[in-house]
Amino acid sequence: MKTLSDLRAIKEKARKEMAAREQSAKYRVVVAMGTCGIAAGARAVMSAILDEINKRNIADTIVTQTGCLGYCDQEPLVQVAQADKETITYGKVTPEIARRIVVDHIAGDRIVSDHVFMQT
């Protein structure tokens, strides 16, 4: 990379790759990271999810964050969405439960029913 146009080309390539990845993702995982979520441990939950996904080499899942979902008493909250299926919101998620969500729900396609807060 020697010029600004080289940098722009790299940026455009990365943007296209990210867009393609999002379209091909089977699951979208969203961790609520509002102040209430962070205070309840959402950062550790996010780290556990990312670690478990990387450890298991799962490539068809997008992990993002959002602000407060409005259910502060259930924080940390994790939503798992899959095309043409209901979105599952897990409440009071610990790092251990987060790892179970990755193993059971994302890798195994089995909802972790004992931690479901809401289905929409």
Handedness of CA 100, 103, 106, 111 (dihedral sign): negative
Looking at per-residue pLDDT, the higher value among 17 and 28 belongs to 28
Q: Residue 16: pLDDT band by 50, 70, 90 thresholds? A: low
Query: How high is the pLDDT of residue 20?
Result: 47
Does 46 fall in a domain?
Answer: yes
Does 7 fall in a domain?
Answer: no
Does 21 fall in a domain?
Answer: no
Does 95 fall in a domain?
Answer: yes
Does 15 fall in a domain?
Answer: no
Dist. CA 39–CA 76, nearest whole Å = 9
Query: How high is the pLDDT of residue 12?
Result: 78
Query: How high is the pLDDT of residue 17?
Result: 59
Scan for tokens 């609520």, then name that residue: 32
The whole-model pTM stands at 0.80
Q: Residue 10: pLDDT band by 50, 70, 90 thresholds? A: confident
Does 94 fall in a domain?
Answer: yes
Span 39-92, pLDDT tens digits: 999 999 999 999 999 999 998 899 999 999 999 999 999 999 998 899 999 999
- As for how many domains the chain has, the answer is 1
Judged against a pLDDT cut of 50, whether residue 115 lies above it is answered with yes
Who contacts 50 (Cβ-Cβ below 8 Å, separation ≥6)? Answer: 63
Does 20 fall in a domain?
Answer: no
Residue 85 belongs to what domain range? Answer: 26-119
Supply the CATH number for residue 108's domain. Answer: 3.40.30.10
Does 88 fall in a domain?
Answer: yes
